Structure 1
Amino acid sequence: MDVIYADFSISMSEFKKNPAQVLRTAGEKPVAVLNHNRPAFYMVPPKLFERLLEELADRDLVSIARQRLALKDAAVEVDIEKI
């Protein structure tokens, strides 16, 4: 059994009939579109998609910061006023 990561789900055939109505009904929530009772894809509104992308970008930045913190012993102190 597959986990469905959405509050709403709909069959592929029902989704094809009126995708705009599915989007309106779901509001700001994701919708799992099922094919043979298994998630085929998720429909997400633009605001949620943007938040997901921002979260992924933030995770990348955290990873970079951790890598750089691990190298801080090799850092050279610089006085920005003397540059």
Structure 2
Amino acid sequence: MSYQILSATAASITELKRNPMGTVKEGEGHAVAILNRNEPAFYCVPPELFAYYVELAEDAELNRIADERMKSPDVVTVSLDDL
């Protein structure tokens, strides 16, 4: 079975064990695919990129909630003068 590698940089688990920080730096701020027997086992991401992914996931969840609420018939009309 073939797997798609979703990063420009890949390293083996052995390389990661030998030099963890060097492996992360190889990605130059991007994800590094960690391979086990030439198959992706996981992706190693720097903290800044992980924070960005978490923010994207939170935004997607908030958008889902907003879309769900837009379908609700419980609409309240408010004028700016009432605020």
TM-score relative to the length of structure 1: 0.86
Q: Which residue of 2 aligns with 1:53?
A: 54
Output the aligned Cα RMSD.
Answer: 1.6
User: Counterparts of 2:40 and 2:55 in 1: how far apart (Å)?
Assistant: 24
User: Counterparts of 2:7 and 2:28 in 1: how far apart (Å)?
Assistant: 12
User: Counterparts of 2:27 and 2:79 in 1: how far apart (Å)?
Assistant: 55
TM-score relative to the length of structure 2: 0.86
How far has the Cα of 1:81 moved from its partner?
5.5
Q: Which residue of 1 aligns with 2:32?
A: 31
How far has the Cα of 1:27 moved from its partner?
1.6
Any stretches of 5+ residues in structure 1 without a counterpart? none
More helix by share: 1
Question: Is structure 2 residue 79 aligned with structure 1 residue 75?
Answer: no
How far has the Cα of 1:28 moved from its partner?
0.4
User: Counterparts of 1:79 and 1:20 in 2: how far apart (Å)?
Assistant: 56
Any stretches of 5+ residues in structure 2 without a counterpart? none
**What whole-Å deviation, never above 9, does each CA across 1:44-80 have from its counterpart, x for those lacking one?**
0111000000000000010011011001x33233457
Tell me which amino acid in the other structure corresponds to 1:63: R
